[in-house]
């Protein structure tokens, strides 16, 4: 038995973004309870040379909407990357989830051998669809969501593994 590209991608991605939205809620509650300006968390970094929390959420969103679009042979919607608050980040996550929910299995299934080219600052990356999903899109999503989680945790937000994984 094999798993479809759609099943390997869309449901786990929606779940991860849903969990990220719940983490945002916990950060907002923590900020309010401790009388910390939410902008402190939005701009927080793990280390000075790393991207801030806001960019972690934006990149997670861009990675999956771009991934779905490329595998389905579509153009991804452009988000402006101008979020500066928890409600705006929440809205971005919800827009991304709504976009992903708009895909049907037949749009992504069968894309295992599709040629995917990413134009990066330092050149092009070439993939077949399955390698693009498993070696680029999903690891990037998990990296940025994990980093957002770690930023929140390092700033005192009471989070645990269940917050990252969600209800099993």
Cα–Cα distance list, 21 to 57, 61, 101, 107 (Å): 10, 12, 16, 26
126-149 pLDDT per residue, tens: 999 999 999 999 999 999 999 999
Whichever domain contains 109, its CATH number is 1.20.120.450
pLDDT of residue 1: 54
* Range 113-117 average pLDDT: 96
pLDDT band at residue 167, thresholds of 50, 70 and 90?
A: confident
pLDDT of residue 17: 98
- Interatomic CA distance for residues 79 and 58, integer angstroms: 9
Query: Pick from 65, 43, 69, 68: which is nearest to 56 by CA?
Result: 43
Q: Is the pLDDT of residue 64 over 70?
A: yes
Domain count for the chain? 1
Domain housing 51: 5-165
């Amino acid at each position: 038995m094999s798993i479809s590209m759609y099943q390997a991608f869309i449901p786990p991605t929606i779940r991860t973004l849903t969990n990220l939205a719940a983490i945002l809620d916990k950060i907002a509650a923590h900020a309010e309870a401790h009388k910390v300006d939410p902008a402190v968390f939005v701009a927080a970094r793990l280390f000075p040379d790393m991207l801030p929390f806001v960019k972690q959420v934006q990149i997670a969103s861009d990675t999956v909407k771009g991934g779905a679009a490329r595998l389905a042979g579509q153009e991804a919607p452009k988000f402006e990357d101008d979020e500066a608050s928890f409600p705006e980040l929440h809205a971005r996550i919800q827009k991304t989830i709504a976009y992903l929910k708009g895909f049907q299995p037949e749009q992504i299934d069968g894309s295992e051998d599709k040629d995917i080219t990413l134009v990066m600052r330092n050149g092009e990356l070439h993939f077949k669809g399955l390698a693009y999903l498993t070696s680029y899109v999903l690891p990037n999503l998990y990296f940025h969501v994990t980093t957002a989680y770690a930023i929140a945790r390092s700033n005192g937000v009471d989070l645990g593994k269940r917050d990252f994984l969600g209800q099993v």
